Amino acid sequence: MEDPDETANKSRHKKMIQDSRFKVQGLPIMISLFFVLLIYGHVAMAGPYLDSAHGNYTPSPGYGVNRTATANSGYARGNCAHCHEQHASIGGSEPTPASGSASPFALFADNFDNKIIGPYVQTDNFCFYCHVNVGAVQTEGSITNKQYSNTFGGYTIDSATDIMGAFSLNSYHNLYDIQDFAKTKFDFFKDSSNPCVACHNPHRAKRNKAHPTDPSYTAISRPTDHENLWGDDANERMSNYTYYRPPYYYGSNATYEPDGSALHDGSLIPDYNAFCLDCHQYQVPTSQSASMNPNTPATYLTAINWSASGDMHGERSRIYDVNGTGNSRTGTIIAPYNVVPVQSNYVLSCLDCHEPHGSVLVSGRPSSYLLRKKVNNNRVDGCGPGEGNFCETDFCGSCHTFSHCGGPQGCFQCHYHGAYGNGPGWCGSWVGPVF
């Protein structure tokens, strides 16, 4: 019996072919026929694409890919040709490739120019041709993508309004490092693959920003499972962790991320821990950020252990009560992490503290490690003017009270991924995990 979803996809393909908006104007008949055969020859692959953000074309006008140059030649919104110039001919003429020559995957420009350090410009990354809020090749002229803290946390000040802008902030996921690591770890990732596809499958990714309450619209795919979305199934969400509770939504002490509602079981949030640890369970080479952990080799990021044997912000059991009882250091844990069921223990999501693309925060340390400007209804602030100002004590104070960190920028001296007290010294006499 044929799968109902596949049947529906075939129907949509047939409609697209019949739709006059989908016609290819000015192409020779033989080329048009070849294009039709190409579509029907890839029904299984094209179905999920038409459900993706890039393939969307209905209801009209849709929001899928629609490059001005190809749209003007008659290609409908969502058509593959907006990204892939498979015939090197549009309307009977051959456009000059943006990169000056044919690009891998028949793209209209090269995927990535191997730039080692940002800030980036539009020609550095194929995705930036559309994911910018000014000068996009998309017919609308711009695509807005705000920070995670804004879209899913309710924060109202924009430090970046597009993807290229986020990757050009003070602390960012280094694209060269992503590409360099992904091609050594994941079979689908090729030497000429775009760094963005390590986390996103452009033929599957959906428009989560427009549906923050519905993770079935997730935009991510695990690097270890590139052909499937991650977070769209109920067993791929933070609700899998008994001791997870989302942070407060900005401006509220009663509603939670990602939608500002009272629901707080993690069922609306993809399991970002499993997603991020596909890479960050390893010591990842870095060309830019040095780790705070002295046990991590230079030019590598610390391998993160979020299991019951790892960090306390992960699944490791709490050592002291939330009110600090038994701890020689002062401090408590504040709401919403001091009540049942997370009172006895808790696990955080990676994106409760980190932005996925880039952070505006400026640090005197080697990096601000993509830390969020807004954490648990707290605008991280306190050490100077400007949106990028950042006291470590104010960041940690989003969830903790304390008075033992040796100054406003002293927290990360002792507390970082994998931190472990080693006895008398700057960080006290405690021997054991301290993060």
- 3-class secondary structure for 367-385? CCCCECCEECCEECCCCCC
Distance CA 134, CA 76 (A): 23
Q: What pLDDT sits at residue 96?
A: 67
In whole angstroms, what is the distance from residue 314 CA to residue 435 CA?
9
Q: What values do phi and psi take at 338, rounded to 5? A: -115, 20
Distance of CA 209 to the CA centre of its chain: 11
β-strand partners of 261: 256
Please give the pLDDT value at position 86.
74
With CA atoms as reference, report the closest residue to 111 among 189, 50, 223. Answer: 189
Contact, 54 vs 203, CB < 8 A?
yes
Report residue 45 as tokens. Answer: 């692959």
Only one residue has tokens 């008659």, namely 74
Which residues have a Cβ under 8 Å from the Cβ of 325 and sit 6 or more positions away?
none
For residues 82 and 62, is the Cβ–Cβ distance under 8 A? no
> What confidence score (pLDDT) does residue 212 get?
94
- Size of the chain in residues: 435
pLDDT of res. 85: 85
Query: Is there a contact between 124 and 99 (Cβ–Cβ < 8 Å)?
Result: no
Tokens for 310, please give them.
């790892």
Cβ neighbours of residue 60 closer than 8 Å, sequence gap 6 or more? none
Reading the block at residue 257, the tokens are 């991320």
Closest CA to 163 of 151, 138, 146, 187: 146
Residue found by looking up tokens 């009272």 in the block: 262
Q: Where are the alpha helices (DSSP H) in 262-308?
A: 272-280
- How far CA 24 is from CA of 2, 14, 74, 79, in Å, comes to 31, 15, 5, 10
State the DSSP code for 69.
H
Separation CA 212–CA 61 (nearest Å): 22
Sign of CA dihedral 127, 178, 102, 45: negative
pLDDT tens across the length of the chain (435 residues)? 444 444 444 444 444 433 433 333 333 333 343 343 333 333 334 579 999 999 999 999 999 999 999 999 899 999 999 999 876 666 666 666 666 677 899 999 999 999 999 999 999 999 999 999 999 999 999 999 999 999 999 999 999 999 999 999 999 999 999 999 999 999 999 999 999 999 999 999 999 999 999 999 999 999 999 999 999 999 999 999 999 999 999 999 999 999 999 999 999 999 999 999 999 999 999 998 789 999 999 999 999 999 999 999 999 998 888 887 777 777 899 999 999 889 889 999 999 999 999 999 999 888 999 999 999 999 999 998 899 999 999 999 999 998 888 889 999 999 999 999 877 677 877 888 889
Q: What is the rounded CA–CA span in Å between residue 236 and residue 269?
A: 9
Question: In sequence order, which residues have a C-beta less than 8 Å from that of residue 99 and are 6 or more positions away?
Answer: 109, 110
302: its two tokens: 């610390």
For the chain, how long is the longest CA-to-CA vector?
Answer: 81
Other beta carbons within 10 angstroms of residue 395's beta carbon come to: 24
Amino acid identity, position 271: D
Is the CA virtual torsion 235, 236, 241, 246 positive or negative?
A: negative
Asked if residue 70 lies in contact with residue 81, where contact means CB atoms within 8 angstroms, the answer is yes
Contacts of 77 (CB under 8 A, 6+ apart): 21, 56, 57, 61, 62, 63, 64, 65, 66, 71
Exposure string (b/e) for 350-361, b if CB count within 10 Å is 16 or more? bbbbbbbbbbbb
Distance CA 330, CA 102 (A): 63
Cα–Cα dist 412/417, whole Å: 10
- Residue 67 in 3-state DSSP? strand
| Contact call for residues 228 and 203 (beta carbons, < 8 A) | no
